[in-house]
C-alpha cells in the first residue's frame, strides 16, 4: 500500500486526486495539505467527502511529508514546487508535480512565459514529462515527474500521430481549444463567478497563453524539429471538459484509411485513448469523470487540411487522473489501477 501526500488538496485538481485515490486499492492518502484550511476537516471543505474522508487539512511541510510518504502530489501554483525542491526530499520520496515547474526543459522559456524565476533549475533535466502514452518507459524510473498541463495533454495527443509520421506541415498548425471552468481553479475571482461565465463564451490568453510553449516542445519532439504554432483557449460555461480542434495542412494527399491507420498505430493498444469511428466528433460529455481522451479527425479535401479533434476531462486525464496513471507507472502498478472510471452521461 502506497502512502500518499497531497499538497494543495483543496483546489479542484487536489479534490479530484482525493476522489480518484479514495477508490485506488493500493494507495492511501496520509496527508491532506492545504495552507488555506489548516486544521479544518477536509470533508468540511469538500462536503462530497463527508463520511468518506475523516482527516483534517495540514500545512505544506514538504520535507516532513517526504519522510512519511512514498509519493507526493503537488497541486500548487506555479513556482511553489520549484521553490522547495531539493535533493533530500527526492531521496525520501517521489514527487509528481501538477504545476508547470518542471514541464519545460529550457528554463529561459519557462521564465519568459511564466514571468517568474525558476528556483531549482538543476532538477529540470531529471524531471520526466508525464504524458504516459508517449513517455511510458521514462516515467517508470522517474523520481520527479512533471505532470502535463490540461491543454497540452489534449492538444498533444490529438496531433501527435500525424506530427510524428510527418503527415502534416507543422508550420501551419493552429490549435483552437475550449475548456470548462474548473480549469480556472477555485480562487474567488469576479471573472469566474457563475453570472460571468454562464450564457457566455470568450477567448482568453490569445497568442500568449502559457501552455503554448509546452505544446510546442512536445510536438517538436514528435516532429523532430522546432514547432511554432497558434494556441487559443476559450472559456466554456461548463464545469469539466476540454475540447481541442486543431488544423494543419497535409503534406501530401492521403486517405481516411491511411490517417486512421496512423492513429491506430499509436493508440489502438492504449487503454485511455479512444480513436472514434469515422464521422463521430468527440464530445466532452462522453468522457466526463473518466481518464479517457477521445480523438478523431476529418480530412478536408477542399482545403488540403486535416482537422484533428480531442476531448477529455480536464480534471482527470488533464490533471489528477493522469497523475495517478503516472504514479501507477512509477511504482510498477497496473497502469489503469484506480482509473477504471466509466464516463458519466448525462
- Cβ atoms within 10 Å, residue 344: 13
Site for a copy of itself in 32-51 (CB under 8 A): 44, 46-51
Site for a copy of itself in 70-129 (CB under 8 A): none
Q: Is 269 a binder of a copy of itself (CB under 8 A)?
A: no
In contact, 57 and 40? CB cutoff 8 Å: yes
Residue 144 or 311: the one with the smaller Cβ distance to a copy of itself is: 311
Active site residue 150: yes
Residue 108 or 198: the one with the smaller Cβ distance to a copy of itself is: 198
Across the chain, which distance is largest between two alpha carbons, in Å? 62
In contact, 168 and 253? CB cutoff 8 Å: no
Buried b (16+ CB within 10 A) or exposed e, 271-297: bbbbbbeeeeebebbbbbbbbbbbbbb
Site for a copy of itself in 163-182 (CB under 8 A): 172, 174, 176, 178, 180-182
Residue 340 class from Cβ within 10 Å (0-12 exposed, 13-18 middle, 19+ buried)? exposed
Q: Is 317 a binder of a copy of itself (CB under 8 A)?
A: no
Residue 24 or 94: the one with the smaller Cβ distance to a copy of itself is: 24
CA dist 37 → 22, 57, 60, 164, 320 (Å):
20, 6, 11, 45, 20
- Interacting stretch for a copy of itself, rule CB under 8 A, among 59-67, 68-76, 203-211, 254-262? 203-211
- Interacting stretch for a copy of itself, rule CB under 8 A, among 58-66, 122-130, 131-139, 204-212? 204-212
Considering only residues 232, 251, 254, 336, which one is a binding residue for a copy of itself as defined by CB under 8 A?
Answer: 232
Mind telling me the catalytic residues? 150
Amino acid at each position: 500500500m502506497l502512502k500518499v501526500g497531497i499538497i494543495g488538496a483543496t483546489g479542484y485538481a487536489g479534490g479530484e486526486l482525493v476522489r480518484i485515490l479514495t477508490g485506488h486499492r493500493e494507495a492511501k492518502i496520509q496527508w491532506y495539505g492545504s495552507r488555506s484550511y489548516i486544521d479544518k476537516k477536509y470533508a468540511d471543505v469538500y462536503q462530497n467527502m463527508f463520511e468518506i474522508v475523516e482527516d483534517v487539512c495540514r500545512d505544506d511541510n514538504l520535507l516532513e511529508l517526504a519522510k512519511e510518504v512514498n509519493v507526493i502530489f503537488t497541486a500548487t501554483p506555479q513556482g511553489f514546487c520549484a521553490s522547495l525542491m531539493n535533493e533530500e526530499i527526492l531521496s525520501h520520496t517521489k514527487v509528481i508535480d501538477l504545476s508547470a515547474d518542471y514541464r519545460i526543459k529550457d528554463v529561459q522559456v519557462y521564465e519568459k512565459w511564466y514571468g517568474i524565476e525558476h528556483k531549482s533549475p538543476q532538477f529540470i533535466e531529471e524531471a520526466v514529462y508525464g504524458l504516459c502514452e508517449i513517455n511510458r518507459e521514462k516515467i517508470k524510473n522517474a523520481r520527479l515527474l512533471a505532470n502535463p498541463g490540461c491543454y497540452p495533454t489534449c492538444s498533444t495527443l490529438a496531433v501527435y500521430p500525424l506530427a510524428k509520421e510527418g503527415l502534416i506541415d507543422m508550420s501551419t498548425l493552429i490549435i483552437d481549444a475550449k475548456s470548462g471552468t474548473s480549469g480556472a481553479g477555485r480562487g474567488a475571482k469576479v471573472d469566474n463567478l457563475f453570472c460571468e461565465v454562464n450564457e457566455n463564451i470568450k477567448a482568453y490568453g490569445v497568442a500568449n497563453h502559457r501552455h503554448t510553449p509546452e505544446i510546442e516542445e512536445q510536438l517538436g519532439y514528435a516532429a523532430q524539429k522546432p514547432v511554432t504554432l497558434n494556441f487559443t483557449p476559450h472559456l466554456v460555461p461548463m464545469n469539466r471538459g476540454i475540447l481541442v480542434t486543431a488544423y494543419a495542412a497535409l503534406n501530401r494527399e492521403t486517405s481516411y484509411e491511411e490517417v486512421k491507420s496512423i492513429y491506430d498505430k499509436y493508440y489502438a493498444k492504449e487503454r485511455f485513448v479512444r480513436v472514434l469511428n469515422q464521422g463521430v466528433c468527440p464530445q466532452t460529455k462522453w468522457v466526463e469523470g473518466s481518464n479517457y481522451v477521445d480523438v478523431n479527425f476529418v480530412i478536408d479535401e477542399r482545403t488540403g487540411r486535416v482537422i484533428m479533434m480531442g476531448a477529455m476531462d480536464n480534471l482527470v486525464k488533464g490533471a489528477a487522473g493522469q497523475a495517478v496513471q503516472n504514479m501507477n507507472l512509477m511504482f510498477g502498478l497496473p497502469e489503469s489501477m484506480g482509473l477504471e472510471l466509466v464516463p458519466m452521461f448525462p
